Chain A
Amino acid sequence: RKEVEQDPGPFNVPEGATVAFNCTYSNSASQSFFWYRQDCRKEPKLLMSVYSSGNEDGRFTAQLNRASQYISLLIRDSKLSDSATYLCVVNTIDSGTYKYIFGTGTRLKVLA
């Protein structure tokens, strides 16, 4: 089982749609969770951290379910500029060392 698993997509959605991505992680000792965004041929950039109580930043909402070991990202009112790959990142402990573990990413295409 992969440490961090995401549906690679692509998710093709029309402008204005709501889209949700899920991510599962295998290590129950994982400490913190993030969503990063990566545009084509660019570096990943932090989109938002994911807090236990869930958190919202404008059109973006992140949720964490520790019992089921998954996190989610909801994007409302999709814009063309939201087209990118969304990377799920988990900060987990491995052999006594904390590491950032990345998923393969979910590709989103917002269509006009």
Chain B
Amino acid sequence: ETGVTQTPRHLVMGMTNKKSLKCEQHLGHNAMYWYKQSAKKPLELMFVYNFKEQTENNSVPSRFSPECPNSSHLFLHLHTLQPEDSALYLCASSRNLAGVSGELFFGEGSRLTVL
């Protein structure tokens, strides 16, 4: 069993659809992250949660709405997306927030295509 699990692995949606990405970590970590990875661009930090409280929103459009019900689960709710939002969305966790040297553990990602 991987430490960080993401579902679905692949998602195709229209611009008017509403869908959600789910992430679950089994590592007992306190911090969870959403990153976006587009072709030929560095990973872009979207949101950070620490002890289920949001600590970072990196100027992400409101059509992306995160939810963190507890330290083990993280959701990304998607609504009225644009084709340029097509990308690989990666969830990650770490024992503590960045600032204390530690490893980021990534899920396998959810590949999103917006038609």
Contacts and interface: CB of A to CB of B under 8 A. Distances in A.
Interface of A: 2, 4, 8, 31-32, 34, 36, 42-46, 49, 87, 89, 91, 93, 97-105
Given A43-B90, A99-B45, A49 B101 contact: yes
Interface residues of B, number: 21
Contacts of A31: 99, 101
Contacts of A45: 106
Contact of B97 (A2, A98, A102): A98
B101 A102 contact: no
Contacts of B55: 97
A87 B48 CA distance: 20
Contacts of B108: 42-43
Contact of A46 (B35, B104, B109): B104
A102 B99 contact: no
A46 B103 contact: yes
A62 to B, nearest CB: 14
Contacts of A104: 40-42
Interface string B83-104: 0000000100000011101011
A46 B4 CA distance: 14
Nearest to A93: B99
Interface string B37-80: 00011110100100000011000000000000000000000000
A8 B40 contact: yes
B40 A103 contact: no
16 contacts: A32-B101, A34-B103, A42-B108, A43-B109, A44-B106, A46-B104, A89-B104, A91-B98, A93-B99, A97-B56, A98-B97, A99-B45, A99-B56, A101-B42, A102-B35, A102-B43
